[in-house]
Amino acid sequence: MKSSFNCLYHLENGSISILEIKQTDLHAQAPKSDIYKWLCVDKASGKIVQLIFNSMDASGDIEERYFEQGYLKFNRETGTFIEKFNSAQHQLINAGKDNLNPEITLSVDRFLKAYKI
């Protein structure tokens, strides 16, 4: 089965994966907020939470993303996600967009199908 998304960014540690995805099964006129999504996957439970994107910044090799749920700062090798509500800080590695675990791919496809209108 072909996946319904392409992975644009993939950062992870032992407990979570943070992904930016682009849905490939939507019509060309779909809003960008429907096409592009940031997701946080809990590896132990498989639970996926959509991170609500607010803004971004980039300078040199450093990328920053601001979400309602927290802040992500990353480069080509590493990253840090700081949760807004419980102040948890997650040190991450940049695992590369082509290095997704098949279980995560399947979970994300299920998540997207569950929320499709």
Choose between 71 and 117: higher pLDDT. Answer: 71
Residue 117 reports pLDDT greater than 70: no
Q: List, for residues 10-33, the tens digit of each pLDDT value.
A: 999 999 999 999 999 998 899 999
Residue 78 in contact with residue 4, Cβ under 8 Å? no
pLDDT of residue 55: 96
pLDDT above 90: residue 116 = no
User: Full-prediction pTM beyond 0.95?
Assistant: no
Task: Work out the number of other CB atoms within 10 angstroms of the CB of residue 6.
Answer: 12
The pLDDT score that the predictor gives to residue 1 is: 60
Distance of CA 18 to the CA centre of its chain: 4
Domain boundaries, the chain: 5-114
Residue 102, C-beta contacts closer than 8 angstroms, at least 6 positions apart? none
Q: Are 10 and 99 in contact (CB under 8 A)?
A: yes
Q: How large a percentage of the chain has pLDDT more than 70? A: 97
